[in-house]
Amino acid sequence: MKIDKAYEGREHSAVKHALLEGYLEKLLFIKGMSGTKEITYVDCFAGPYQDERDDIQATSIAKSLGILKKVRDALATQKKYVLMRAIYVEVKSKRYERLSSYLAGNTPNGIKTFHIYGDYSEKADEILEKCGDKAFTFFFIDPEGWTDVGIPRLGKLLARPKSEFLITFMYDFVNRFVEKADLRDQIAAMLGNLSEEEYQNFENLLPKERERFIVHKYRDQIKAAMKFDELQSRSYHAAVKDKDKEKTKYHLVYGTRHPKGIIVFAEQSAKVEIVERVIRRQIKHNADLNLSLFEAEEEAGLMDEARAEPEDVKQYWLKHLREEAVIFNEAMLADMLEDTDWLVSDFEEAFKQLLMEHKVENLDAGVGKRTAHPVNFKKGERLRRCV
- Read off the pLDDT of residues 352-363 as tens digits, 9 standing for 90 and up: 999 999 999 999
pLDDT of residue 317: 97
Looking from the CA of 124 toward its CB, the CA atoms found within 13 Å total: 12
Assigned domain for 326 exists? yes
367 pLDDT above the threshold of 70: no
Domain boundary among 284, 318, 337: 284
In a domain, 297, yes or no: no
Report if residue 301 sits inside a domain: no
* Mean per-residue pLDDT, 49-61: 69
Give the closest residue to 130 by CA, choosing from 38, 48, 222. Answer: 38
Range of the domain at 81: 5-284
Question: Is the model's pLDDT at 318 over the cut of 60?
Answer: yes
Identify which has the larger pLDDT, 22 or 89.
89
Residue 302 lies in a domain: no
Same domain, 11 and 139: yes
Task: Give the span between the Cα atoms of 111 and 196, in whole angstroms.
Answer: 51
Same domain, 54 and 172: yes
**Residue 226: pLDDT over 80:** yes
Q: Which of 241, 266, 284 is the last residue of a domain?
A: 284
Asked whether the predicted pLDDT for residue 51 surpasses 80, the reply is no
Q: Indicate if 279 and 133 belong to the same structural domain.
A: yes
Average pLDDT, the chain: 87
Peptide bond into 143 cis (omega under 30): no
Termini Cα distance of the chain: 48
Identify whether 289 is part of a domain. no
Asked if residue 325 and residue 274 are part of one domain, the reply reads: no
pLDDT value, residue 272: 76
For residue 92, count CB atoms less than 10 angstroms from its CB and return exposed for 0-12, middle for 13-18, buried for 19 or more.
middle
Say whether both 326 and 255 belong to one domain: no
- How many CB atoms sit inside 10 A of residue 169's CB? 24
* Distance, C-alpha 358 to centroid of its chain: 35
Q: Which residue has the higher pLDDT, 261 or 286?
A: 261
| Statement to judge: residues 315 and 232 lie in one domain | no
Checking if the pLDDT of 6 tops 90, the result is no
Q: How do residues 151-182 score in pLDDT, each as one tens digit?
A: 999 999 999 999 999 999 999 999 999 999 99
Residue 48's pLDDT is what? 80
The band of 289, judged by pLDDT with boundaries at 50, 70 and 90, is: very low
In 3D space, the residue among 215, 210, 185 whose CA is nearest the CA of residue 198 turns out to be: 210
Q: Which of 91, 89, 104, 102 is nearest to 40 (CA)?
A: 89
Q: Could you report the per-residue pLDDT of 82-138, keeping only the tens digit for each?
A: 999 999 999 999 999 999 999 999 999 999 999 999 999 999 999 999 999 999 999
Q: Do 269 and 332 belong together in one domain? A: no
Q: Is the sign of the CA dihedral 205, 208, 209, 212 positive or negative?
A: positive
Residue 280 has pLDDT above 50, yes or no: yes
229 and 339 in a common domain: no
Do 184 and 325 belong together in one domain? Answer: no
Q: In the chain, how many domains are there?
A: 2
**Is 292 within the bounds of a domain?**
no
Say if residue 202 is in the same domain as residue 55: yes
Question: Which of 242, 269, 284 finishes a domain?
Answer: 284
Please report whether residue 140 resides in a domain. yes
Supply the CATH number for residue 14's domain: 3.40.50.150
Asked if 117 and 90 count as a contact pair (C-beta separation under 8 A), the reply is yes
Domain assignment of residue 299, yes or no: no
| Residue type at 107 in one-letter notation | T
pLDDT at 11: 58
64 and 139 housed in the same domain: yes
Residues 270, 328, single domain; the answer is: no
Burial 146-161 (b: 16+ CB within 10 A, else e): bbbbbbebbeebbebe
Average pLDDT rounded to a whole number, residues 200-208: 90
Q: Which residues contact 214 (CB under 8 A, 6 or more apart)?
A: 171, 174, 175, 178, 191
For residues 126 and 124, what is the distance between their CA atoms, to the nearest angstrom?
5
What is the mean pLDDT of the segment spanning 334-353?
94
Question: What is the structure's pLDDT at 303?
Answer: 47
pLDDT at 243 over 60: yes
